[in-house]
């Protein structure tokens, strides 16, 4: 299979401290990949490097054959990377439907004049966006809350809405930063089923950050274990779980 993401020798330092040191990863198209490690291991820093929040000191990031190293966040989003955040970032005063439509604007657009004058193209685009947004909301079981304010959704559904909005940008690569954080066991199990469904239904290449080894190992085909900014182990899930370094340094905590 062809690689969707190839990262080589990625490093960044803050105040002389190497937060990420020589990070490598290859994720194939359509793969569900896990990046795991304890708090402070550098996982979110890697997401920030992949999405242009930080610029690396060394290394390269290639998305679907295109070098995006050092690009601005908006350019990387347009190239095909979307993400969610450990701390949910929704437009809380907008409705559930409007949040998803905000993600659709990358692919549905009309001129300012068309919008102001409500020309026929405006209504055509709005109808298409509403239909597409509703399709995504149905995937996450949110269609009945389409007109709710995002802030009025229960926590678990806010998590789902953030993923739906990210998918609305039609990304090539979806980055999920601890999507199960703060969820109860039932909500977590339901979310993991949804992530599996999204990967299969949309053939979505997904990189999932977690610190819960049991959770990630139950859903991901491959894992990379990070510790103190360095790769401790990487490979098929079963191989990584049986790696003596992982057992000693991580599972043995």
pLDDT score at 110:
52
Say what the pLDDT of residue 72 is. 95
Q: Which domains, ranges and CATH numbers included, belong to the chain? A: 1-80+171-253 (3.40.50.300), 92-168 (no CATH)
pLDDT, mean of residues 180-202: 87
Position 4 pLDDT exceeds 70: yes
Q: Provide the pLDDT for residue 107.
A: 61
Q: pLDDT at position 190, please? A: 87
Question: Within a 13 Å sphere around the CA of 79, how many CA atoms are in the beta-carbon half?
Answer: 22
Assess whether pLDDT exceeds 70 at residue 75.
yes
| Tens digit of each residue's pLDDT (9 = 90 or more) over 210-221 | 887 778 888 899
Indicate the range of 26-30, 39-43, 55-59 predicted with least confidence: 39-43
Would the pLDDT of 114 be above 70? no
Mean pLDDT of 231-249: 83
pLDDT digits (tens, 9 = 90+) for 83-92: 998 888 898 8
Q: Provide the pLDDT for residue 7.
A: 97
In this structure, are residues 219 and 200 in contact, taking their beta carbons and an 8 Å threshold? no
Q: What pLDDT, on a 0 to 100 scale, did the predictor assign at position 183? A: 83
pLDDT at 174: 96
Answer for the pair 58, 9: CB distance below 8 angstroms, yes or no: yes
Three-class secondary structure assignment of the chain? CCEEEEEEEEEEEECCEEEEEEEEEEEECCCEEEEECCCCCCHHHHHHHHCCCCCCCEEEEEECCEECCCCCHHHHHHHCEEECCCCCCCCCCCEHHHHHHHHHCCCCCCCHHHHHHCCHHHHHHHHHHHHHHHHHHHHCCCHHHCCCEHHHCCHHHHHHHHHHHHHHCCCCEEEEECCCCCCCHHHHHHHHHHHHHHHHHCCCEEEEEECCHHHHHCCCCEEEEEECCEEEEEEEHHHHHCCHHHHHHHHCC
pTM of the model as a whole: 0.87
Q: How confident is the model at residue 253 (pLDDT cuts 50, 70, 90)?
A: very low
Region of poorest pLDDT, from 29-33, 59-63, 191-195, 244-248: 244-248
pLDDT tens, 157-182? 999 999 999 999 999 999 999 988 88
- At 213 the pLDDT is 78
Position 144 scores a pLDDT of 95
């Amino acid at each position: 299979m062809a690689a969707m993401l190839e990262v080589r020798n990625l490093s960044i330092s803050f105040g002389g401290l190497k937060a990420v040191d020589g990070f490598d990863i290859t994720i194939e198209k359509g793969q569900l990949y896990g990046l795991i490690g304890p708090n402070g291991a550098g996982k979110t820093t890697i997401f920030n490097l992949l999405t242009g929040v930080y610029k690396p000191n060394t290394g390269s990031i290639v998305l679907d054959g295109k070098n995006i190293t050092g690009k601005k966040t908006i350019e990387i989003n347009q190239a095909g990377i979307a993400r969610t955040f450990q701390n949910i970032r929704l437009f809380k005063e907008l409705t559930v439907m409007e949040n998803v439509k905000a993600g659709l604007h990358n692919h549905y657009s009309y001129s300012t004049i068309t919008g102001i004058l409500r020309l026929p193209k405006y209504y055509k685009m709005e109808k298409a966006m509403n239909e597409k947004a509703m399709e995504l909301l149905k995937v996450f079981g949110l269609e009945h809350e389409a007109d709710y304010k995002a802030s009025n959704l229960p926590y678990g559904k806010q998590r789902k809405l953030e993923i739906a909005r990210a998918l609305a940008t039609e990304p090539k690569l979806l980055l999920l930063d601890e999507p199960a954080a703060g969820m109860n066991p039932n909500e977590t199990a339901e979310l993991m089923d949804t992530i599996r469904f999204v990967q299969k239904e949309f053939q979505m290449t997904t990189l999932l950050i977690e610190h819960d080894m049991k959770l990630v190992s139950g859903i991901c085909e491959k894992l990379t274990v990070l510790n103190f900014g360095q790769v401790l182990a990487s490979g098929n899930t079963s191989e990584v779980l049986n790696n003596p370094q992982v057992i000693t340094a991580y599972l043995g905590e």
